[in-house]
Structure 1
Amino acid sequence: MRTITTTEDLAAFCAAAKAAPYVTLDTEFLRERTYWSKLCLIQMALPGKDGEAVLVDPIEGEDLSLEPLYDLFRHEGTVKVFHAARQDLEIFFVEGGVFPKPLFDTQVAAMVCGFGEQAGYETLVRRIAKANLDKTSRFTDWSRRPLSEAQKDYALADVTHLRVIYEWLAAQLKKNGRGPWVEEELAILTDPATYTVHPDEAWLRIKTRTTSGRFLAVVKELAKFRETYAQAQNVPRSRVMKDDALLELASTRPSNMEELGRSRLLLREGRKPEIAEGILAAVKAGQEMKPEDMPKVDHPQDAPQVNGALADLLRVLLKAKSEQLGVAPRLIASSAELDTIAAGGREGEALKGWRREAFGEDALKLCKGEIALSAKGTEVRVVRL
């Protein structure tokens, strides 16, 4: 077991990886106390049962530069293999401004190869690699040093078994012709917009039943301040204020420190002068927002009317198609998307790309009365009319 702590050793390993058809990767990180993930460890393995597997330790290697790794990410002759890559990719995009190319995500591939909606790594190890994982180190503090042997073993297992899983799934995709389906999903993972949080849009994540324009204007300004402050100080949003406190402040709209001090839900951290002043400024900005600039939400009466019977038929069609194709239903279409189609919507993701081929075309035909559904035993069949 080798731990890399110098730029020279990392460059040597990455040079070997460039000569290989693929390399498997994973990371360990912490995010409980920061806005951005803190990278604690990188695991990498070369192909083959005896291919070298290493740990890259950016904490022990204080002068370690990850540029050799980023150069490997840019090298298109080597496939970079991850499992559930989204959080890993966010770390490398934020820190290095780079995405691995070409990329392969075994979780995405497993979902289109019949392994369910959230194909866990442990499941794939058991079913494909025919091995068991020791997960006792899953929730350890990866920022503490030295790492124990158990932690190192756990970390390496996340990339050594991944080799077998990748080769098996790549062969399945070649056999079933669904490689392009996976590529469509990976294009989302390597889109900078996936990881770019705009403070002006932060209010959209806050759940509220109130549709008052003035209330939402204050919510928008408070959420914008919270996001901007959390990013700048690299602290979790909840350290600034939690959603329930934000909604309380949008309702009470304090105009000075005394009124702010009456908040029941604002935590001690949120009462610090720099945060308190930001909150008051945000409330003031929301109060002064022009009516034409206020956030707007759709009123229930403006929403298209869903044909409930048709929506139920679409759910049956989706279940039949997903079972036929061996693809997780939620990967094809969400319940909300089915309702939208049943209400006449024709713009959703379920009607684009591989999803249209797998389900969308027949969904539209069902809506037009061009096909029907019939049952034979436990099997649901599509009948052309």
Structure 2
Amino acid sequence: MSDLYILDQPALVAFCTSLQGTPWLALDTEFIREQTYYPQPGLIQVASADRVANIDLMALPSLDPLLERLYDPTITKLLHAGQQDLEIFFHLRGAVPAPVFDTQLAALVLGQGDQIGYASLVRRMLGVELDKAHTRADWRRRPLEPEWLRYAADDVRYLPELYRQQRTALEERGWLDALAEDFQRLCHPDRYRLQPWESWRRIRQHSRLHGVQRAVLRELAAWREEQASTHDRPRRWILDDAVLIELTRQMPKTMEDLQRIRGLPSATVQRKGEMLLARIAAARAEPPEQWPTSSRRPILTSDQAAQVDVLLTLIAARANQYNIPLRSVANREDVERLLIGEDSPLRHGWRAALVGRELQAGLDDDFSH
């Protein structure tokens, strides 16, 4: 498999022309994000059956020839832990390349490791030891060192063989179509679209807040998301999560109150204090029916609770059979929702193929009798 380093438009056009008719392409990106809200890509790596290309975004006037191939629905894009890579393309074009095959997700389903890294999977499946010394490289710096380019090329060089072996194993189990549903969800644009009003749910301590506090957190988290995206700065540079929680708990009303918030920089108080107070006041003025809520757990009878225990035991046995962590298959709430007929992850994708459909059939049979 020969390596290319593409720095000019004619070379990109020639490479992309050679890809016509291919059924799959291995894909990866190198980017930096430490000081920005949006990922800043520096390199795109693409592998076909006979070559690997490092494509230099910073040297090319247009990526259109490449995007034409990547957005071709007849070509499967092979990635490993590909969500951040797909996010880059969403920001480039407002859509996500599809269809995809993610070797990290396939590895979970095949019992090859939970959230296993690419290098570890290559070592486990192919016996190849990869050099990961350049994981933290600045991919926007030029020129790129030759060893950096070799490192980047290796990130797609072995994806085709991982795909071949994993696809065969999934076909043997009859799970390939089921996993395709999970891959489709990975390509859904809502995963990558800016949704400030939902950003409060990503804050770890949000579940400890109740009532109007959640309204305040939603308002402040949305404000932070808007500021971070507008100014292209990391969220933590606008306000740290711990400060958001403290603001939510204390709900200050005056500038003096704000100045007493632990961890809130004085410069932020001076520049943004009035805005923060206005957002807090607006949230406090909302009627209770508008306060955000987490999904409510189902209320079960004692018999149903006992049945959930039985189902969890069955799921644990099946997960252990295939060397999949139980936590990756289902939690108690997932089983409760399946039991009472609500939507549940066990009704979809690989979880349904592993055990969900079997459980549902048993529940339907019990109900019919």
Change (3 A) 1:155 1:335: farther
Within the candidate set 341, 344, 357, 1:348 is matched to 344
Within the candidate set 96, 102, 111, 2:93 is matched to 96
Residue 128 of structure 1 aligns to which amino acid in structure 2? M
Q: CA deviation at 1:159?
A: 0.7
Contact preservation (8 Å) 1:134, 1:154? yes
Within the candidate set 218, 228, 231, 1:230 is matched to 228
Quote the Cα distance in structure 1 between the aligned partners of 2:6 and 2:335: 49
Quote the Cα distance in structure 1 between the aligned partners of 2:105 and 2:253: 49
Q: Which residue of 2 aligns with 1:114?
A: 111
The two structures, once aligned, show a CA RMSD in angstroms of: 2.9
TM-score scaled to structure 1, two decimals?
0.84
Q: Which residue of 1 aligns with 2:45?
A: 43
Q: Which residue of 2 aligns with 1:14?
A: 16
Contact preservation (8 Å) 1:30, 1:38? yes
Q: Which residue of 2 aligns with 1:285?
A: 282
Quote the Cα distance in structure 2 between the aligned partners of 1:210 and 1:149: 50
Matched, 1:315 2:328: no
Quote the Cα distance in structure 2 between the aligned partners of 1:147 and 1:269: 38
Quote the Cα distance in structure 2 between the aligned partners of 1:188 and 1:112: 16
Q: CA deviation at 1:364?
A: 4.4
* Gapped regions of structure 1 (runs ≥ 5): 371-384
| Structure with greater helix percent | 2
Q: CA deviation at 1:185?
A: 0.7
Q: Which residue of 1 aligns with 2:54?
A: 55
Q: 1:27 is paired with a residue of what secondary structure?
A: strand
Quote the Cα distance in structure 2 between the aligned partners of 1:76 and 1:351: 26
Within the candidate set 61, 65, 73, 2:62 is matched to 65
Residue 17 of structure 1 aligns to which amino acid in structure 2? L
Quote the Cα distance in structure 1 between the aligned partners of 2:23 and 2:102: 15
Contact preservation (8 Å) 2:100, 2:184? no
1:237-267: CA deviation from partner (whole Å, max 9, x where unpaired): 1111112211222233333434322222213
Deviates more, 1:38-47 or 1:206-215: 206-215
Quote the Cα distance in structure 1 between the aligned partners of 2:325 and 2:184: 19
Contact preservation (8 Å) 2:338, 2:346? no
Aligned counterparts, 1:213-362, within 5 A: 213-267=211-265, 270-271=268-269, 273=271, 275-297=272-294, 303-304=299-300, 309-325=306-322, 329-338=326-335, 340-341=337-338, 344=340, 346-362=342-358
Quote the Cα distance in structure 2 between the aligned partners of 1:37 and 1:162: 23
Quote the Cα distance in structure 2 between the aligned partners of 1:236 and 1:145: 24
Q: CA deviation at 1:320?
A: 2.0
Within the candidate set 109, 121, 125, 1:124 is matched to 121
Q: CA deviation at 1:92?
A: 0.4
The percentage of counterpart residues that share the same residue type is 33
Q: Which residue of 1 aligns with 2:7?
A: 5
Contact preservation (8 Å) 1:73, 1:100? yes
Change (3 A) 1:283 1:122: same
Q: Which residue of 2 aligns with 1:24?
A: 26
Change (3 A) 1:305 1:147: farther
Aligned counterparts, 1:176-215, within 5 A: 176-206=173-203, 207-208=205-206, 211-215=209-213
Change (3 A) 1:291 1:332: closer
Quote the Cα distance in structure 2 between the aligned partners of 1:286 and 1:174: 52
Change (3 A) 1:37 1:167: same
Quote the Cα distance in structure 2 between the aligned partners of 1:217 and 1:98: 31
Change (3 A) 1:143 1:127: same
Within the candidate set 151, 159, 163, 1:154 is matched to 151
Quote the Cα distance in structure 1 between the aligned partners of 2:168 and 2:7: 35
Residue 166 of structure 2 aligns to which amino acid in structure 1? L
Q: CA deviation at 1:86?
A: 0.9
1:9-46: CA deviation from partner (whole Å, max 9, x where unpaired): 22221221223332211111122211111112111112
Change (3 A) 1:120 1:191: same
Matched, 1:133 2:130: yes
Contact preservation (8 Å) 2:99, 2:183? no
Quote the Cα distance in structure 1 between the aligned partners of 2:354 and 2:295: 31
Q: CA deviation at 1:369?
A: 9.3
Q: Which residue of 1 aligns with 2:140?
A: 143
Q: CA deviation at 1:72?
A: 0.6
Change (3 A) 1:163 1:358: closer
Quote the Cα distance in structure 2 between the aligned partners of 1:336 and 1:195: 26
Q: Which residue of 2 aligns with 1:381?
A: none
Contact preservation (8 Å) 1:5, 1:64? no
TM-score scaled to structure 2, two decimals?
0.87
Change (3 A) 1:349 1:3: same
Change (3 A) 1:296 1:170: closer
Q: Which residue of 2 aligns with 1:380?
A: none
Q: CA deviation at 1:332?
A: 3.1
Change (3 A) 1:368 1:182: closer
